[in-house]
Structure 1
Amino acid sequence: MTARSRLTVLAGPTAVGKGTVAAYVREHHPEVWLSVSVTTRRPRPGEVDGVHYHFVDDATFDVMAARGDLLEWAVVHGRAKYGTPRAPVEEILDAGRPALLEIDLQGARQVRRTMPEALFVFLSPPGWDELVRRLVGRGTEDEEERAARLETARVELAAAEEFDVTVVNDDVRRAAEELVSWMGTPVPAPKRD
């Protein structure tokens, strides 16, 4: 019988490059299973339903949350809902495969309550100015959305100490390889107050 694997949770502020690092892992480490989140936000250019996200309407999302079909879920930036379907995660962990969730801070906190044995990795930018440059440079949000995301990012950056490990995303390949290397190590002892 295969031993159950440990979940790895990757979180960090908006525009830090969580999706880019996760895409690198998907391409270069096929042994790592990446969860596909459900969201109520509209697809960005190039995003494919079922690959990048499962795009659903509010009513469908609300039914999933009410039934307990989501491992975690949250309203992000005061706008769209995001969540992680529970069943696929449980199936992959039971099969003994390494599994990665790329989620926001609120979701990571929920997963910590339900799966404290998971490894929690905080993806950090090399600095605030670089984070702002990345958010503005991707050009996918209007001015109002950027302002909301940057306000959220300030709060999210302060939460790094809640995580087991911090990986600085100064280079996507290096950060992704460091993340994957942590996935094969024992869970650090929980931080105590």
Structure 2
Amino acid sequence: MRPTDAPLDNLHGGRKGLCLVLSAPSGAGKSTLVARLRAEFPAFAYSISCTTRAPRQGEENGVHYHFLSRETFISRRDAGFFAEWAEVHGNFYGTPKGPVEDMLAKGQDVLFDIDVQGALQLKQVFTQALYVFILPPSREVLEQRLRGRGTESEEVIAKRLTNALGELEAAGHFDYHVVNDDLEEAADELRAIYVAGRARAVCRPGLLPGLLAQWGRG
């Protein structure tokens, strides 16, 4: 095979990975959509997060989380080690930036299922990622879904609905809005966003130069 006959994406550095970031209010059905997307595209990479909480039974360091002391976490946070971080119930959680950058450079696509706060932090670091917000069709439907779980108290449901309002108010910072009313339609829209994103020029820097090289250009 002559160099100019090679797959164009393998020329001039190959394909770059795509970062797909998903957020939604609790009860919007994001987990179901993520599971469907991962089932169809199992090659999605993921980053192992860091946390200061103690390991739970069965959790392994470096597999489920990187378990750090509070002092180590704060030191790394202050050094810019994390792409995003948050304090939840007294414990720190964060996504290391370096491993994600390495995966993207190798052409691996990375999927983030993350809260709105974390997504907005990621947007400052991974500016070329795709940011998708999953919306419920209405407040009424969201409340029905939360109640339908049968596992949460009235107090928790009220808190989640209040939190949902704040999250929806931040949805304008996302690139795409997918309304999860009909599951099949929402899944199709999410798939289309991902597939189209893979074809963006920024993810295929070698494509055009490789083609132009066949004319002796580039």
**Partner SS state of residue 71, structure 1:** strand
Whole-angstrom CA distance in 1 between matches of 2:91 and 2:159 = 12
Partner of 1:33 in structure 2? Answer: 45
State the one-letter code of the partner of 2:164.
Answer: A
TM-score using structure 1 length: 0.74
Partner of 1:24 in structure 2? Answer: 36
Partner of 2:144 in structure 1? Answer: 133
Partner of 2:23 in structure 1? Answer: 11
Deviation at 1:142?
A: 3.8
Whole-angstrom CA distance in 2 between matches of 1:98 and 1:31 = 8
Partner of 2:98 in structure 1? Answer: 87
TM-score using structure 2 length: 0.67
Question: Which ranges of structure 2 fall in alignment gaps of 5 or more residues?
Answer: 1-12, 201-218
Whole-angstrom CA distance in 2 between matches of 1:49 and 1:129 = 40
Cα distance change on mapping 1:177 and 1:143 into 2, 3 Å: same
Partner of 1:190 in structure 2? Answer: none
Cα distance change on mapping 1:170 and 1:101 into 2, 3 Å: same
Whole-angstrom CA distance in 2 between matches of 1:22 and 1:85 = 21
Deviation at 1:128?
A: 1.0
1:6-37 deviation per Cα after TM superposition (whole angstroms, max 9, x unaligned): 31111121221222211222222213334455
Deviation at 1:140?
A: 4.5
Deviation at 1:111?
A: 1.1
Partner of 1:161 in structure 2? Answer: 172
RMSD: 3.5
Deviation at 1:63?
A: 5.9
Identity %: 40
Whole-angstrom CA distance in 2 between matches of 1:154 and 1:171 = 21
